[in-house]
Structure 1
Amino acid sequence: MKLQTVVIVVACSLLLGGCWDRIEVNDIAIVTAAGIDKAENKEIELSVQIFIPRSFSVGSMQGGGVKTVTLVRRARGVDIADAMSKLQMNLPRRIFWGHCKVYIYGEELAKAGVSELVDYLARHPQPRNRAFMYVSKGKAADVLNLKTDLERYSGEAVRELSGLKIGMEITLVDLINMFMGKSKAAVLPVIAVLPPSDPKKPESTDPYLFGSAVLKDGKMVGLLTQRVTRGVMWLRNEAASTTVTVKAKNVKGFVSLNPFRERTKLVPSIQDGKWKMLVVVETEGDLIQNGTHLNLVNPKWMKQIQMALQDDIETRLKLTLQQVQHGLKADIFGFATQFHRKYPKEFARVKDRWEEVFPKVEVSLKVSASIRRPGLATVPGGLTESEVKP
């Protein structure tokens, strides 16, 4: 018995050690970003931005400028797997997806549908579940070809935009969960390209967040502006770090506020056969600029500004509901999930026609806003005390 145990331990130990299946860094092509566009004959075009390791070696500074640190290669196929296999035949190194943090779908491709393309990323063992997903305004390959000034390559610039928390932040696992969700609707941030400062160098510019794209059954059905996108983020309890500028009634000038704590709660209810959703929004912010003639330390004026902030948030939410709920009829807010949790039997009866029920859901808003820190200065900058309303 002891002899058998020793034999088994020795046999197992032979499988634990060694580097027989190792892959050297010098043998792989590290993908930093990928773009997928629609091509002719029902094919797709896969573009990958590949890191050039030797660009950081000694002598990378040539001709008075920094040597390009990435290159873009592309191939076409009937799907991503087919395009990737053809792309691999044109590269001397094995493609490695483990460091790819950015995936961009071209606008035309997004309109045709991206569900099947997400399947490859979900099944392949290398792509990161936390990689960021986007739709481009135009071709995705154009974004990868940009020569950005602040970042080393365009893929890094796009990723940094998500890190700023100023727009939608959707990862691969988020997109998969939305496609598998009760509403079958999804939303992705949209990347656009700034006009170049030098027309002779069209690629020397930067990407920026344009807004968001709404998808139903995997197909893009509409684009939302940045203002409406912020309303979507309020309803999804994903409010961005941004500045809100408001104007109170009968007050000259504007006040800018920086919300630092936001909370949105969805409260579903079914009363007399009517489906209702109460959206409770609570926000707290700091005063960062006072462009009025008011002393906002006075509770009377402060309350007036807080009411203006509440009205601004309500206006944003109503605009968002009008465009998304009644216009696109796409439940990207998670209403279906909330009703399913509270009323599983009732939701089971309408889940197959939720697209018809969702636009009819009566939504009521309850917004409360408070300004916690009005700042140390009681007198607005540039004014004397006599010009300020106490």
Structure 2
Amino acid sequence: MRIIPIISIIFFVLVTLTGCLGKEEISDLALVTAVGIDKGEQENILITAQIARPAEARGDAGAGGGTGEPMWTAIAEGKTIFEAIRNLARFSSRRVYWGHNMVIVISEEIAEDGIVDVIDFFTRNNELRMRTWILVTEEKARDLIPVKTGIEVLPGESIDHLFRYSPIVAEAPKSDAMSLSMGYLREYTHPYLALVNLKSRGIAEGEDMPEFGNLPQAELSGTALFRDDKMVGKLKDRESRGFLWFIGEVETAIIPIEFPEGDGNASIELRDNSFQLTPKYENGEVSFDITLETVADLVELGVPTGKSYDELFTLLEPILEDYIQEDIEMLLNKLQQEYQLDSIGLATYFRAKFPQYWDDVKDDWDELFPDMAIVVNVSAEITNPQLFRLPTKPVKE
């Protein structure tokens, strides 16, 4: 009598282990690698989807092609994001699939009106990875999406690789669907996204060459700040690098400084960094101390000098300290005086350190933030003269 239940169990296991249930062939899918969101006609949402052609992207001439463009850019409109994406199916010969999407680019117009619909749709999409990059552009997203940057075949992959190497520049945050949703949903935090714009950096053959190139390239260019779901400001260059210290994303950076003796510059690479933020609460006043310590390398010196290494380091260290401190103070001035927005999460630090006093200040935090005393102390040590041995001297007398 026990043989019937055993057979039933074996049958159930065989059915659940089969690899063919619900399968989809890659040839049936339109693989989205990047998507742009703009305003369309009559306040509609305009979606620009970059869809890969796998054979062309591989350069596989024997797989049904390999001679065409590696991507297809499709545009559709709708009253909502969902409707616009659904309307792609009207002319796409394959089912639009989001599992390989690497980048979502939002136009500044959309960001200023509010991105709650973007957050809601893309975080609920079970095909989308929460590590998908999300950016804001001052351009039209539909203009940026098709642009190839560098040597990558697919534009979406180009932007993905920009983020991989962004720590070298340290001027834009790594913003993805996870960090955006956390910044939006958590209490007393505000979202931020990287800014990306088109700049003429590439070189096209057979054309006149302007100063910086003649091909538009996607370029990381700062940070977009949000209050709730609406974009309210931007951080550029050094302000953005100051911001990265607070969100823990400064792994390394190249700091250019003017050499104080002679006409030239020095490049210093930050190598080992420690950033500590300490909340204080005295006599009902909230304040913060910032202690930043860095160990750096001297990687370039454009001025011949007869100074020893120790003399050079002693000369350059205070200049480096002032430069880093100025980055942070420029950021704090922008946040406290211009935007009056705690984008760096000081509320979270204070709440963790003084939970017993949090109820006393939480309702007034936005009013208290612009006047908070924030003391910055930077200590830099240069220990290694990489790429610098002896000054280059002419042979001729």
TM over 0.5: yes
Q: 1:49-69: per-residue Cα shift (whole Å, max 9, x none)?
A: 00012313317999xx96310
Partner of 2:164: 163
The CA distance in 1 between the partners of 2:245 and 2:381, in whole Å, is 16
> Does residue 319 of the first structure (1) align with residue 322 of the second (2)?
no
Partner of 2:274: 263
Say if 1:246 and 1:256, in contact at 8 Å, map to a contact too: yes
Partner of 1:17: 17
Say if 2:252 and 2:271, in contact at 8 Å, map to a contact too: yes
> Does residue 74 of the first structure (1) align with residue 85 of the second (2)?
no
> Does residue 290 of the first structure (1) align with residue 295 of the second (2)?
no
Instruction: Give runs of aligned pairs for residues 202-221 of structure 1, distance below 5 A.
Output: 204-221=215-232
Moved more, 374-383 or 131-140: 374-383
Q: 1:333-363: per-residue Cα shift (whole Å, max 9, x none)?
A: 1211111111224223433443222222210
Distance change in 2, residues 1:50/1:378 (3 Å): closer
Which amino acid is 2:184 matched to? Answer: F
The CA distance in 2 between the partners of 1:372 and 1:173, in whole Å, is 38
Question: Which SS does the other structure have where 1:206 is aligned?
Answer: strand
How far does residue 148 in structure 1 lie from its aligned partner after superposition? Answer: 4.3
The CA distance in 2 between the partners of 1:333 and 1:92, in whole Å, is 46
How far does residue 138 in structure 1 lie from its aligned partner after superposition? Answer: 1.4
How far does residue 230 in structure 1 lie from its aligned partner after superposition? Answer: 0.9
How far does residue 304 in structure 1 lie from its aligned partner after superposition? Answer: 2.3
- Percent of pairs with identical residues: 27
Question: Which SS does the other structure have where 1:243 is aligned?
Answer: strand
Q: 1:99-128: per-residue Cα shift (whole Å, max 9, x none)?
A: 111111011111111122111111111111
> Does residue 348 of the first structure (1) align with residue 364 of the second (2)?
no
Instruction: Give runs of aligned pairs for residues 1-390 of structure 1, distance below 5 A.
Output: 2-3=2-3, 5-18=5-18, 19-55=20-56, 56-58=59-61, 67-148=68-149, 150-164=151-165, 165=167, 166=169, 167-195=172-200, 204-239=215-250, 241-247=252-258, 253-295=264-306, 297-375=308-386, 377-382=388-393
Please give the root-mean-square deviation of Cα atoms over the aligned residues, in Å. 2.8
Question: Which SS does the other structure have where 2:332 is aligned?
Answer: helix
Partner of 1:388: none
Which amino acid is 1:192 matched to? Answer: N
How far does residue 141 in structure 1 lie from its aligned partner after superposition? Answer: 0.9
How far does residue 88 in structure 1 lie from its aligned partner after superposition? Answer: 2.0
How far does residue 291 in structure 1 lie from its aligned partner after superposition? Answer: 3.0
Moved more, 231-240 or 346-355: 346-355
Question: Which SS does the other structure have where 1:90 is aligned?
Answer: coil
The CA distance in 2 between the partners of 1:347 and 1:42, in whole Å, is 42
The CA distance in 2 between the partners of 1:299 and 1:210, in whole Å, is 36
Runs (5+) with no aligned partner, structure 2: none
Distance change in 2, residues 1:298/1:163 (3 Å): closer
How far does residue 47 in structure 1 lie from its aligned partner after superposition? Answer: 1.1
TM-score, L = length of structure 2: 0.88
Distance change in 2, residues 1:66/1:233 (3 Å): farther
Say if 1:60 and 1:67, in contact at 8 Å, map to a contact too: no
